[in-house]
């Protein structure tokens, strides 16, 4: 394989506008196979910003990733780590552009409980996440910026840095063994570039190339970008196992033979089509995940159930208000109606004690606002049992007298899901359905036959 037909995969890089032959840009979240390429280039800058922040925004001064995206982030980083190790085993090189990339906090998926009995409350545990954990080596960069550095290495690395020194800068320094260090900050031993041998390949940490926004014109950017990628391709080829064979000079790229140009044009067209398909697939996956999350109404208890109930009510038109810790699960309004709700996920049926807890929140609301709200008990009964096997009543007869006397409305989360589905399918019925719900006293009767709204797939698997 010659230098001119090598293929590079850029992860989160920003070279796509250059249409550089043999270089493909893909987002960090992509599931594309690294093994199809001769070298990998990963832009490490702002990786935490690839994932939406939690509504709180930050935790301990750092970005807090949204709970639902924390698991996705861990999965993406794990997949990237695994693929990097595999290409290194194959003797290929991984280049990491060391842009600004600070740690963030993510939800661990674990819950810590405080209090006992009915006063127990769960807190979702967060922990700091190493945004360089996609690499199989440990580095702890300090984020600083500068463009003055010392070249402390030999060819082919020094050749690369001599060519690119005017179009790169550093965004981080880190500790590295002296034998691994390629560049340092002047008058210090702080490394800003280093090479690490791993398996049969190399991980090369490089300073960051200027983005196209840093240039006055598109022409200047294209000239600088091509210069950088030319040098990077040459460096990788010099480091590769084929480096002892003849390296064609770069000017030979300007000579085309046979149907080379036609094939390159077809490749570019195929790459563009692949990117569109990847985009559609990722969008479709996100849509499916969003839909699937609504099924938490049928399966969960505790905080996950509370959050999906709140989200569902909000989507169908309820306005939710902030609740104090240790108070009712939901305080909301629908037009001019105030609502206080208690949410429960239980392994058996609901009980009168749940209604009594709801009545406590109602009394507190009346004391503070001097008028009565609509009281709603929302229960996912038999939550550990498959939906089709739930044969017992979620609201037993012995609690109905208590609830009816206090004008509680009792609704299961399965009914709430059916209500949500009907409103999504027919938004014009929302007003009528929600008014019916809020005027109900005792058990809500609509949607008792959930099979009109939920498709049950018959399977032999449990």
> The CATH number of the domain where 127 resides is what?
3.40.50
What CATH number is associated with residue 351?
3.40.1350.10
Domain boundary among 200, 233, 255: 255
- Quick check: is 435 in a domain? yes
Residue 381 pLDDT greater than 90, yes or no: yes
- Domain membership of residue 72 (yes or no) is yes
Considering the domain architecture, whether residues 309 and 172 belong to the same structural domain is answered as no
Rounded to the nearest 5°, which phi and psi values hold at 257?
-130, 160
Per-residue pLDDT band at 113 (split at 50, 70, 90): low
Q: CA 417 from chain center: how many Å?
A: 25
Give the model confidence (pLDDT) of 16-57 as tens digits. 889 899 999 999 988 899 999 999 999 998 888 888 888 777
Of residues 94 and 1, the one with the higher pLDDT is 94
Query: How many domains does the structure of the chain reveal?
Result: 2
Task: Please identify, among 190, 224, 255, the residue that sits at the C-terminal boundary of a domain.
Answer: 255
- Examine the domain organization and report whether 168 and 241 are in the same domain: yes
Same domain for 236 and 373, yes or no, is no
Q: What are 173's strand-pairing partners? A: 142
Span 384-390, average pLDDT: 92
Same domain as 197, residue 134: yes
Instruction: For residue 291, tell me if it sits in a domain.
Output: no
Among 230, 255, 280, the domain-final residue is 255
pLDDT above 70 as % of the chain: 92
- State the residue range of the domain holding 214: 3-255
269, part of any domain: no
pLDDT of the residue at 249: 65
Residues 190 and 324 reside in one and the same domain: no
- Same domain for 14 and 77? yes
**Average confidence (pLDDT) over 327-351:** 90
What is the model's pLDDT at position 245?
46
CA distances to 39, 122, 285, 293, 318 from 311, rounded to whole Å, are 44, 18, 20, 11, 9
Residue 326 in any domain: the answer is yes
Say yes or no: 49 and 165 in one domain: yes
Q: Does pLDDT of 235 surpass 70?
A: yes
**337: which strand partners?**
334
Residues 137 and 188 placed together within one structural domain of the fold: yes
Model confidence at 1, pLDDT cuts 50, 70, 90, reads very low
Q: Which helix (H) or strand (E) covers residue 67, if one does?
A: helix 67-89
Residue 438 has pLDDT above 90, yes or no: yes
Which of 68-82, 89-103, 174-188, 268-282 is predicted least confidently?
268-282
- Where does residue 322 rank: exposed (0-12), middle (13-18), buried (19+ CB within 10 A)? exposed
User: What's the whole-number mean pLDDT along residues 177-199?
Assistant: 91
Per-residue pLDDT band at 243 (split at 50, 70, 90): very low
Angle at 440 between CA 439 and CA 444, to 5 degrees: 145
Residue 63, domain member (yes or no): yes
Q: Is residue 268 part of a domain?
A: no
- Asked if residue 319 and residue 188 are part of one domain, the reply reads no
pLDDT confidence bin for 453, thresholds 50/70/90: very high
Question: Does a structural domain hold residue 282?
Answer: no
């Amino acid at each position: 394989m010659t230098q001119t037909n090598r293929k590079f995969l850029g992860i989160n890089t920003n070279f796509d506008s250059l249409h550089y032959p043999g270089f493909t840009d893909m987002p960090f979240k992509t599931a594309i196979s690294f093994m199809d390429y001769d070298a990998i280039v990963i832009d490490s800058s702002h990786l935490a910003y690839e994932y939406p922040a939690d509504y709180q925004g930050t935790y301990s001064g750092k970005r807090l990733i949204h709970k639902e995206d924390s698991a996705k982030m861990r999965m993406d980083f794990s997949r990237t780590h695994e693929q990097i190790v595999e290409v290194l085993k194959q003797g290929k090189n991984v280049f990491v552009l060391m842009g600004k990339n600070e740690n963030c906090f993510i939800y661990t998926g674990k819950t810590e409980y405080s209090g006992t009995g009915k006063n127990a409350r769960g807190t979702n545990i967060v922990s700091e996440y190493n945004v360089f954990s996609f690499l199989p080596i440990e580095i702890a960069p300090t984020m600083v910026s500068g463009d003055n550095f010392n070249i402390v290495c030999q060819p082919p690395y020094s050749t690369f840095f001599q060519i690119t020194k005017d179009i790169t800068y550093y965004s981080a320094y880190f500790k590295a063994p002296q034998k691994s260090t390629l560049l340092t900050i002047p008058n210090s031993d702080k490394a800003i570039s280093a090479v690490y041998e791993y398996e049969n390949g190399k991980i090369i940490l490089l300073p960051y190339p200027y983005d196209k926004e840093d240039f006055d014109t598109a022409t200047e950017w294209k000239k600088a970008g091509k210069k950088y990628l030319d040098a990077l391709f040459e460096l990788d080829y010099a480091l590769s196992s084929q480096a002892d064979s003849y390296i064609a000079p770069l000017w030979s790229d300007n000579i085309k033979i046979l149907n080379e140009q036609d094939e390159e044009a077809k490749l570019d067209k195929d790459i563009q089509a692949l990117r569109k398909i990847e985009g559609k697939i990722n969008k479709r996956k996100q849509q499916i995940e969003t839909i699937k999350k609504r099924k938490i109404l049928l399966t969960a208890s505790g905080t996950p159930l509370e959050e999906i109930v709140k989200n569902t009510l909000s989507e169908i038109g309820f306005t939710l208000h902030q609740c104090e810790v240790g108070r009712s699960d939901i305080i909301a309004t629908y037009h001019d109606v105030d609502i206080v709700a208690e949410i429960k996920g239980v392994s058996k049926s609901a009980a009168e004690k749940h209604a009594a807890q709801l009545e406590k929140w109602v009394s507190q609301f009346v004391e503070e606002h001097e008028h009565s709200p609509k009281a709603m008990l929302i229960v996912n009964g038999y939550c550990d049992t498959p939906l089709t096997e739930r044969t017992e009543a979620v609201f037993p007869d012995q609690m109905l007298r208590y609830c009816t006397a206090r004008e509680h409305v009792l609704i299961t989360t399965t009914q709430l899901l059916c209500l949500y589905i009907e409103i999504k399918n027919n938004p014009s019925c929302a007003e009528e359905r929600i008014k019916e719900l809020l005027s109900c006293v005792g058990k809500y009767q609509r949607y008792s036959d959930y099979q009109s709204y939920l498709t049950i797939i018959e399977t032999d698997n449990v």
